[in-house]
Amino acid sequence: MKDKFIKDQQDKLSLGAIDRRQFMTSAIAAGIAIPTALSLASDAIAATPKKGGKFRMGLGHGSTTDTLDSGTSENHFTLVNGYTFGNHLTEINNEGKLVGELAETLESDDGKTWVFNLRKGVEFHNGKTMTSEDVLASYAHHMGEKSTSAAKGSLSPVKSIKADGKYKVIMELDSPDTDFPYIVSDYHISIRPAGDMTSGIGTGGYIVQSFEPGVKSVLKRNPNYWKEGAAHFDEVELLSIVDPNARQTALMSGEIDAMDRVDLKTINLMKRNPNINIMQATGTAHYTFPMRLNVDPFGDYDLRMALKWAVDRQELVDKILLGYGAVGNDIPIGTANYFHNSDLPQREFDADKAAFHYKKSGHSGKVQLSAADAAFAGAVDAAQLMANSAKKAGIDIEVIREPNDGYWSNVWNNDAKGWCACYWGGRPAETMMFSAAYVAESNWNDTMWKTTDSAVKFNKLVKDARKELDESKKRDILYECQRLIYDDGGLLCPLFNSYVSANSKKIAHGQIAANWDSDGAKCVERWWFA
Amino acid sequence: MHPVVKTVLERLALGLATLFFVSLIIFSAIEMLPGDFGQAILGQAALPETVAAFRAELGLDKPAYIRYFDWALGAIQGDLGTSFSGRNASGADRSAEVVDKIAPRLWNTLFLASMAAIIAVPLSLILGILTALYRNSFFDRSVNTATLTTISFPEFFVAYILILFFASLNQIFPSLANVDADTAFGERIYRTALPAFTLTLVIVAHMMRMTRAAIINLLASPYIQMAKLSGASQTEIIIKHALPNAWAPIATVIAFNLAYLVVGVVVVEVVFVYPGVGQLMVDAVRTRDIPVVQGCALIFAVTYILLNLLADIIGIVTNPRLLHPK
């Protein structure tokens, strides 16, 4: 009886239905000693993968203009498909750690010169052995004036790239960046054979059999895959099923084995189905309400502080995300990031503090907040809830409903609007997120937090962090960066949204990565049939 | 020349003239679309000079009338140009011919349309005739109520209801109709069953009620009363005397619905994940892939014109008065 219960709980744990802590609680409740329970938990997580089967997945993206050129990859379908047939120099593993992929090891003494030691004996699907020549050609595809690759911007710090023999590539950056290895794990920068960047030949665990843009991609296991303990399915079919209802019906009736982007409105109905597991992973994606410091009245520290204290974050998680997410702490770094500053006290709704700062700011009248659902699903509702809670602190927020069309060019990051709703996918490395939207020279600096003392200090610290090779020193610098944004920045970040997906109970997997939806978009090579 | 042949030729010429005007309208409407392919595809990286280079490469810098004639002359020869998507400024041109892009999807669309038509057309004709025969009976009323109900619901709703009963609760048919070129014929029919039923339910009411109305209308005319007085049975009156004169309006409605099956089913395509031409056109509009949009629009126009032409011709050749001129 007890054994069966523990077995059940182990199954749930390995499928992600319960977490390790819940497993421990139930095991201890069943009278198992803690060390035994711990090892039972590890057993379940380390369940041995089985080979075989045909895996069919329905994805909520995909368009007839998709291609197999990773440089144009722009949606989750192309992302998952790209990671399924291709490899990169580095990858982020399911624990959120950066590890070498086609580069077996990488080294740098100063953060400026990076040496990638390539893995030997890796074959492309066409039988050619991967060497430095292919890496150079692949990188050339994403660099240079004429390239239209979406990774062109992130590779712009690369000053030179050259080969040293067949299995060594040296890249030189124009300024030190110790997080550069994260950039090369970007899904755009897939390594392809020299001379063929576009036909979908890679080194990945699966070989493309047919690809119909906006419809499906059919793949077969690569018998010569170099990576051990990966690519367990024999065949794979990735289907583009944009309509959420069609996707959910297909999963319920067993026509697909897994799907992404569950519609939260109907999630409780799906949970009733005994053959389906719902999974969620809170990653780096977050919803924000950036305040522009160069637009009145947001230049005032106390007004910003008043608004930060006037938001009931838990209410937003419950009502906007229906519980599938986490509260944000006014920093763009989430718990999934390695150097997330967990020392900062969680900001909660506090009418007294909000009223205190509001009074100190001397502001009177309405504070305008622009929102449209183009920013994120439920943005207008979230703004209304914020206006409601702010009223309790005596702050009058006027919600302006903006049109969805042109929201990103006319409202967001525009001096005409001081405060609006916004969405960020997040970045795997902290300095990457800061560079994207918080350093002074970024075009996407939507808070215009550039000139205050804290902002100046922040900009200097980000540069230091990029140079720092020592982990504990780097941690200190990045913690301080986050504290500066938390305290002085124009960022109001109340929500981290979860990726919610569902799969058939036949599917088994290890720990789920949170850097992208679908197990870091690598579910195809990581999952197996139980 | 026989008057029927003459009328048919006249209609053909008119059809060609219509097609010319439609092509003009398509071209100028797309000219007026806001946005630019260069900007849509380059996104954040759209520098003015890159966009200009892109426009030059695609020939978008030429005046509109020259581009129209290039396109129209190509289209007459069956060449709809080259798709914009898949191009990039790095020199590699992997863009597909528009014809190659549209052809497999058009075949899928036509397949689904024929499936639906094969079920819907005979069904609505039979129901129309039967309801005319037994008009105002319980049977007539229930058929009318049922068909009016299915046409009144939006098609995605009908589709979801069918999915609920035939794919989710009872797994008789698949809810995904994701066929491809290699799908076997039998499998294809099985996979497209639910979308075909959905379309059938959506179009039957229109055709059935038109058939019924046309026949009932004729039943009041003097020559039918004459037939009745001469002792013909009800069935004989309807099939032999009323129907031949009713073909013209019925054919028009059928043509209209068949055209709808080809050009208007994008919602059903999305719900059942069916790779038809509607989804292709929507994606192409979104990315400003002008040659594909123009190609789809032209094919839709041709479908409408051809089917209406066919309906006209059927109306003419079945009309006893035109067949036997005085």
The whole-chain average pLDDT of chain B stands at 85
Tens of pLDDT, residues B283-303: 888 777 888 889 999 999 999
Comparing CB atoms, the residue among A150, A210, A239 nearest residue B178 is A239
DSSP collapsed to 3 states, A15-37: HCCCCHHHHHHHHHHCCCCHHHH
CA distance A252 to chain B (A): 7
Six-digit token pair at B193?
């069953």
pLDDT at B148: 93
| Nearest CB partner across the interface for B283, out of A63, A141, A252 | A63
pLDDT (0 to 100) of residue B326: 59
Cβ atoms of B146 and B298 closer than 8 Å:
no
A240 near B CB under 8 A? yes
**Minimum Cα–Cα distance from B182: chain A residue:** A210
Residues B186 and A178: their CA atoms lie apart, in Å, by 58
* Contact state of A243 with B271 under an 8 Å Cβ cutoff: yes
Answer whether A210 sits within 8 Å of B92, measured CB to CB.
no
Contacts of B171 in chain A (CB under 8 A): 253-254
Tell me, what's the pLDDT at B90?
39
Q: Would you state the structure tokens that stand for residue B44, as one six-digit string?
A: 């954040």
Contacts of A222 (CB under 8 A, 6+ apart): A125, A204, A205, A206, A207, A231
ipTM of the complex: 0.77
A-chain residues near B90 (CB < 8 A): 141, 146-148
CA distances from B126 to A323, A358, B207, B235, B277 (A): 54, 75, 10, 12, 31
Q: Is A276 on the interface with B (CB under 8 A)?
A: no
* β-strand partners of A160: A172
Q: Are strands A216-221 and A206-212 parallel, antiparallel or unpaired?
A: antiparallel
Contact check, Cβ <8 Å, A212/B168: no
Which of left, alpha, beta for B59 (phi over 0: left; psi -120 to 50: alpha)?
left
Has residue B231 got a pLDDT over 60? Answer: yes
Size of interface A-B (CB pairs under 8 A): 95
The pLDDT of residue B207 is above 50? yes
Predicted local confidence at residue B101, as pLDDT: 85
Task: Give dist(CA A507, CA A504) in Å, integer.
Answer: 6
Q: What number is the average pLDDT over the span B171-196?
A: 89
The pLDDT of residue B91 is 41
Nearest-CA distance A382 → chain B (Å):
28
In a structure prediction context, what are the per-residue pLDDT tens digits for chain A, which is 530 residues long?
A: 456 555 566 655 555 556 655 655 655 555 555 555 555 555 555 568 899 999 999 999 888 778 898 888 878 999 999 999 999 999 999 888 899 999 999 999 999 999 999 999 999 999 999 999 999 999 999 987 777 777 888 898 999 999 999 999 999 999 999 999 999 999 999 999 998 988 899 999 999 999 988 889 999 999 999 999 999 999 999 999 988 888 998 998 889 999 998 988 888 888 899 999 999 988 899 999 999 999 989 999 999 999 999 999 999 999 999 999 999 999 999 988 889 999 999 999 999 999 999 999 999 899 999 999 888 888 999 999 999 999 999 999 999 998 876 787 778 888 889 999 998 988 889 999 998 899 998 878 999 999 999 999 999 999 999 999 899 999 999 999 999 999 999 999 999 999 999 999 999 999 899 888 999 999 999 999 98
- A152 with B45: Cβ contact below 8 A: yes
Is residue B44's pLDDT more than 90?
A: no
In this prediction, residue A146 carries a pLDDT of 74
Q: What is the pLDDT of residues B178-189, one digit of tens each?
A: 888 788 899 999
DSSP states of B146-199 = HHHHHHHS-HHHHHHHHHIIIIIIS-SS-S-----TT--HHHHHHHTHHHHHHH
Report chain A residues whose CB lies below 8 A from the CB of B46: none
How far does B325 lie from chain A, in Å, by closest CA?
Answer: 54
| Residue in A147, A215, A245 nearest the CB of B275 | A215
Q: Which pLDDT score, from 0 to 100, does residue B85 have?
A: 67
Q: Do A255 and B176 touch (CB under 8 A)?
A: yes
Domains in chain B and their CATH numbers? Answer: 1-96+289-326 (no CATH), 101-286 (1.10.3720.10)
How far is B304 from chain A, CA to nearest CA, in Å?
25
pLDDT at A29: 58
Q: Does A141 touch chain B (CB under 8 A)?
A: yes
Place of tokens 């077995």: A7
Measured between CA atoms, the residue of chain B closest to residue A69 is B86
What span, in angstroms and rounded, lies between the C-alpha atoms of A422 and A383?
Answer: 11
CA distances from B120 to A390, B112, B153, B195, B198 (A): 59, 12, 17, 13, 10
